[in-house]
A and B are shown apart, each in its own frame.
Chain A
């Protein structure tokens, strides 16, 4: 059946008091886990009217919130978890359905090796203990997008347990005030994904596409509140969250809602809620009395999944038939935290910049390619890449791979600035032109637009003298000790050079001439 899915369960703990103003860090790509209350000053949807949970009365007892995340991540593989059929993004409905996917009677699941490897890799990357023996179970419920009437999952003994993930959180108002937090990963399990339902309210019908759902990452949040020291509270589950921003808002709202409810004498129902994006609040979803009984049962058609490491690998085992955890560990790519640390050490990069570089696909490679061809300082390169380059990309909603500017071109441009052939403000103009017109090199653009810095020192000396003579009042101001006068002079000289003189150089000449 399924597009294979890994499900991570992350229990975490975040403290939320009624009125702490949260941090709204919006540095590019810097991950934030906010602990703010429902109102967010700098949120992009601030203009819409938000329903915020009623501000609770000032209780004298603290509240603690417990949040657990259930993350459904679709494994990138050529075929599905249990059937041989292919996985293709955006294929026509029901065009990738095998007999097993349609739950034709008599069909049996066959485990996909690549999916198991992916699960092991994920487990290792999240520092989990890989269970050498894991089991598959059936989880039963009736729904149109679940043709067999049950989902094959790993309830009792999943493939990986007890991991953790370290991440950075901005705590102060300033960028760069970050602390490291860790979240526990309770377990990782392989499971089938359900089909996709399309509700046609007009004709009162539901259409089901059994290719399998296309959401590559979906998160459900489980939230409860309690007083520290007391038992955990009743939890609610919030589903239908498909972005980190909405996830954060939904959790914040739900925490406040629960605190309000309890402080006003109400009680929390163990229910499933969904998040209304427009109103910014959670609403009850399923009509259930209490918990649903999934009638878990071992999946009899799949024997226990046995994994080996180099020590336990049976002699003469067919490598096609067994999975060696140690081998997979060796083949793990460098984890982001290690890459970021290397960047900070090697280039003296700010940590938040290292985050930003890794948060965009292909951006790190772009940066490194530029570094290869330029002698400019890493900090300058990073600044160009993260601000100018990324800015242009975002403006036009392009991926790094679609950039009209190559790393070589940017490197060349930076070298021109480095050699003082052009000023940095001129460089920005060149960059804009590079972006717009394909094929032109920075040198060509500089020549076309006549942006070269004046190299003629004689001419500069003359211009400075001429400008000072033409504006005796300004010179007077300067001699009187007005610090802003020098900038005015610089500006005037620059104008006279048609922007082709470096302000630093002008300043130097002027100061020399004034003192000499």
Chain B
């Protein structure tokens, strides 16, 4: 059951094959079993069970809210969740319990989804490994797959099994691992410079970065306001489309969301690709690209071509400057967004009370981690 798609499990719930509470219990017990992955910072067991109860009532009356009613989900711990601790994997916000829900969280809850918990990340979403949070690194579920174990056993002997694990990528590693390990059907991540797509690739799940302005950032604790977007992690593309359909749309609380109404869409089932033109940016063929990735890339391109699609070379000439631009913008906005963490209104405050400046300095030194670029 936990391996089904959203549509499948939703149908099962409607037909009464399984109840939301049973589904919830299954996921909760799997979360406990996979605790060693360190994917979750907070498991909101009570909340989830209560939500499951409500969902069950709705199903009994035949009035389910939609495709996500009664479905377990997880949310990255940089989204504001009312009444549930939101830490951003930082000492600075340890113990911080927000009084409001992020818009995307609210939208999911309004659809009847069950919140399993808050997932682990790189501190303040700054990182690409999910290794730099104060709660420790997230381990890639694939580290514990049979194939990987066999491979490792062959290669090295006498190595401690504890330290033998793979990273999830990041910064939304916890969400990716949670989905990959079947502990939930979809998870929210965030993406600034790949933080949803990167861990999705590492964990073998689908990671969708919506276009900036499509999904509201209200309640997403920002890293880079002009680049952040909430990201969607699922086990199949159709599921991602369903979740995007729920989340997309103008939010008056976020002035950077697009005003035009979002038309509901359904993914076309593409059987004929002969009218498709696929471009491959030549600048992406970087010398540092690993041969394994390169061959898979070629394989995909060849697949399209053999099915009748047009595959051509395109140029994105500014590619080489992108990382530099990103760093300049990223560091400026991050410095600006972190300015509010001073210990005065919420979050960690040090014991130093000599002066405001001294308090700021000590609080920020204690609260923040080192920046590893």
Contact = CB atoms under 8 A, between A and B. Distances in A.
Interface of A: 99, 102-111, 138, 140, 142-144, 147-150, 206, 208, 295, 297, 300-303, 321
Contacts of A138: 336
Contacts of B226: 300
A302 B219 contact: no
Contact of A142 (B96, B102, B357): B357
A150 B332 CA distance: 13
Given A108-B218, A144-B356, A297-B332, A149 B253 contact: no
14 contacts: A104-B99, A105-B222, A106-B98, A106-B219, A108-B217, A108-B253, A108-B255, A109-B255, A150-B336, A206-B356, A300-B225, A301-B255, A303-B255, A303-B256
Interface of B: 79-80, 88, 93, 96, 98-100, 102, 217-222, 224-226, 252-256, 259, 332-333, 335-336, 338-342, 344-346, 356-357, 360
Contact of A111 (B255, B341, B342, B356): B255
Contacts of A321: 259
Contacts of B356: 142-144, 206
Contacts of B255: 108-111, 301-303
Nearest to A141: B339
Contacts of A149: 336, 338-340, 342
B254 A108 contact: yes
Given A108-B254, A142-B339, A301-B255, A147 B220 contact: no
Contacts of A106: 79-80, 98, 102, 218-222
Contacts of A99: 99-100
Which applies to chain B's interface (DSSP): helix, strand, loop or mixed? loop
Please provide the 5 A-B residue pairs with the shortest distance between their CB atoms, ordered closest to farther: A149-B339, A300-B225, A300-B226, A105-B221, A106-B80
Contacts of B345: 102-104, 147
Given A103-B345, A105-B96, A301-B256, 9 more contacts: A102-B345, A106-B79, A106-B219, A138-B336, A140-B339, A147-B342, A295-B336, A301-B254, A303-B256
A102 B220 CA distance: 16
Contacts of B344: 144, 147, 208
Given A297-B332, A300-B225, A142 B342 contact: yes
A149 B80 CA distance: 20
* Residue among A104, A138, A144 having the largest count of chain B Cβ atoms under 10 Å: A104
A150 B337 CA distance: 9
**Most B-side CB within 10 Å, residue of A208, A300, A321:** A300
A376 to B, nearest CB: 58
A105 B93 contact: yes
A140 B339 CA distance: 8
A321 B255 CA distance: 12
A301 B227 CA distance: 11
Contact of A150 (B98, B339, B341, B360): B339
Contacts of B346: 102, 104-105
Nearest to B344: A144
Contacts of A142: 339, 342, 356-357, 360
